[in-house]
Amino acid sequence: MNSACPKCEAGPSDASGHDDLFTESFHGGDLMLKCRTCGSFWIRKATTDAGFTWTRSASSQGALTP
Protein backbone atom coordinates (compact mmCIF):
# COMPACT_ATOMS: atom_id res chain seq x y z
CA MET A 1 0.00 0.00 0.00
CA ASN A 2 1.40 3.40 -0.94
CA SER A 3 -0.56 5.59 1.43
CA ALA A 4 -1.10 5.44 5.15
CA CYS A 5 -4.27 3.92 6.56
CA PRO A 6 -6.61 6.20 8.53
CA LYS A 7 -5.14 5.06 11.88
CA CYS A 8 -1.58 5.88 10.74
CA GLU A 9 -2.75 9.18 9.22
CA ALA A 10 -4.11 10.11 12.65
CA GLY A 11 -0.83 8.96 14.21
CA PRO A 12 -0.24 6.44 16.97
CA SER A 13 -0.62 7.41 20.61
CA ASP A 14 -0.07 6.05 24.11
CA ALA A 15 2.05 2.91 24.59
CA SER A 16 0.40 0.64 22.02
CA GLY A 17 -0.09 3.12 19.16
CA HIS A 18 -3.12 1.46 17.54
CA ASP A 19 -4.50 -2.07 17.14
CA ASP A 20 -2.81 -2.79 13.79
CA LEU A 21 0.76 -2.05 14.93
CA PHE A 22 3.12 -4.90 15.78
CA THR A 23 6.75 -4.96 16.92
CA GLU A 24 9.10 -5.23 13.97
CA SER A 25 12.52 -4.51 15.50
CA PHE A 26 14.54 -2.66 18.10
CA HIS A 27 16.35 0.51 17.10
CA GLY A 28 18.88 1.30 19.81
CA GLY A 29 16.72 1.70 22.92
CA ASP A 30 13.61 2.41 20.87
CA LEU A 31 10.94 0.12 19.48
CA MET A 32 10.07 -0.02 15.77
CA LEU A 33 6.54 -1.07 14.91
CA LYS A 34 4.88 -1.82 11.57
CA CYS A 35 1.24 -1.42 10.60
CA ARG A 36 -0.46 -4.60 9.38
CA THR A 37 -2.90 -2.56 7.28
CA CYS A 38 -0.69 -0.12 5.34
CA GLY A 39 2.89 -1.17 6.08
CA SER A 40 3.87 2.13 7.71
CA PHE A 41 6.80 1.98 10.13
CA TRP A 42 6.86 3.89 13.41
CA ILE A 43 9.50 4.39 16.10
CA ARG A 44 8.25 4.65 19.68
CA LYS A 45 10.48 6.47 22.17
CA ALA A 46 9.92 6.65 25.90
CA THR A 47 9.90 10.17 27.33
CA THR A 48 11.00 11.40 30.74
CA ASP A 49 7.39 12.03 31.80
CA ALA A 50 6.52 8.30 31.46
CA GLY A 51 4.86 8.90 28.09
CA PHE A 52 5.82 8.06 24.51
CA THR A 53 6.59 9.94 21.32
CA TRP A 54 5.96 8.44 17.90
CA THR A 55 7.94 9.18 14.74
CA ARG A 56 7.22 7.85 11.26
CA SER A 57 10.20 5.86 10.03
CA ALA A 58 11.69 4.20 6.97
CA SER A 59 11.92 0.41 6.87
CA SER A 60 15.69 0.73 6.44
CA GLN A 61 16.12 1.92 10.04
CA GLY A 62 16.71 -0.60 12.82
CA ALA A 63 17.56 -4.26 12.67
CA LEU A 64 14.58 -6.11 11.26
CA THR A 65 13.64 -9.32 12.99
CA PRO A 66 12.71 -12.46 11.02
Q: For 11-60, how does the pLDDT look when each residue is reduced to its tens digit (9 = 90+)?
A: 998 888 999 999 888 877 788 999 999 999 999 998 888 788 999 987 65
The span from the CA of 44 to the CA of 50, in Å, is 12
Residue 64, C-beta contacts closer than 8 angstroms, at least 6 positions apart: 24, 25
Q: Is the pTM of this model over 0.75?
A: yes
pLDDT of residue 61: 56
What does the domain layout of the chain look like in residue ranges?
6-58
Average pLDDT over residues 62-66: 51
